[in-house]
Amino acid sequence: MTEPFTIAIDGPAAAGKGTISRAVAAHFNCAHLDTGLLYRAVGAKMLLGQDPADAARGLTAADTQGAGLRSPEVAQAASRVAVLPEVRAALLDFQRSFARRAGGAVLDGRDIGTVICPQAEVKLFVTASAEVRAQRRYAELVAGGSEVSPAQVLADVRERDARDRDRAAAPLKPAPDAVTIDTSDMTIDQAVTRAIGAVERARTG
């Protein structure tokens, strides 16, 4: 891809967006932005006592590379700062210009197809049952050395889903023209193949 071409991938917590987005970006040789990391970085700064809107306005690339950003505490903090319109507004321009870079871009998050890039050439909504998503997140966290219980991870996923869906600012929902991929009964390879197929169809029109 040489022209700007935006692939928007939204969905609830731990649905597989990250893995699918990275695979789609590698397949089409385009850039990838995990927008959740922006909110996680702001959430981490809030946990350190900073005002979330100030943190969002002053965010640097280095802030999104911290080792602790994948923890459950930071995920919850991210979804708390994500309800704030000032935080979302501060992160908007960066995401929009990333989306229109030459060579194409994959952005994954909650509101990419609905608010950040409503004109995206392809919109996917990747989902799975809360139980399946919690199992996957549990396995990831344990592999990363976290001490968590399956029940706690399920409760966290449900709490974050509810906050993301019910907020007034850019709530989590599929864009009207999004292709939904329910990965509950799919392997990651199947989900990636499905996503690449949807992008191919959009490219060839």
Q: Which of 40, 50, 109 is nearest to 77 (CA)?
A: 40
Among residues 8, 20, 28, 36, the one that binds ligand CDP under rule CB under 6 A: 36
Residues 2 to 21 in contact with ligand CDP, rule: CB under 6 A:
13-14, 17-18
Which span sits near ligand CDP by CB under 6 A: 33-41, 45-53, 118-126, 187-195?
33-41
User: Does 114 interact with ligand CDP (rule: CB under 6 A)?
Assistant: no
**What contacts 43, CB < 8 A, 6 or more positions away?**
52, 74, 75, 76, 77, 78, 79, 80, 81, 82
Give the Cβ contact number of residue 73 at 10 Å. 12
Which span sits near ligand CDP by CB under 6 A: 25-33, 53-61, 108-116, 197-205?
108-116
Single-letter amino acid code for the residue at 197: G
Q: Which residues of 28-39 are buried (b: 16+ CB within 10 A; e: fewer)?
A: bebebbbbbbbb
Q: Which of 168, 77, 175 is nearest to 121 (CA)?
A: 175
Cβ proximity to ligand CDP: between 84 and 196 the closer is 84
Among residues 52, 164, 179, 199, the one that binds ligand CDP under rule CB under 6 A: 164
User: Does 78 interact with ligand CDP (rule: CB under 6 A)?
Assistant: yes
User: Does 45 interact with ligand CDP (rule: CB under 6 A)?
Assistant: no
The residues that touch ligand CDP, with contacts defined as CB under 6 A, are 13-14, 17-18, 35-36, 39-40, 75, 78-79, 82, 109-111, 160, 164
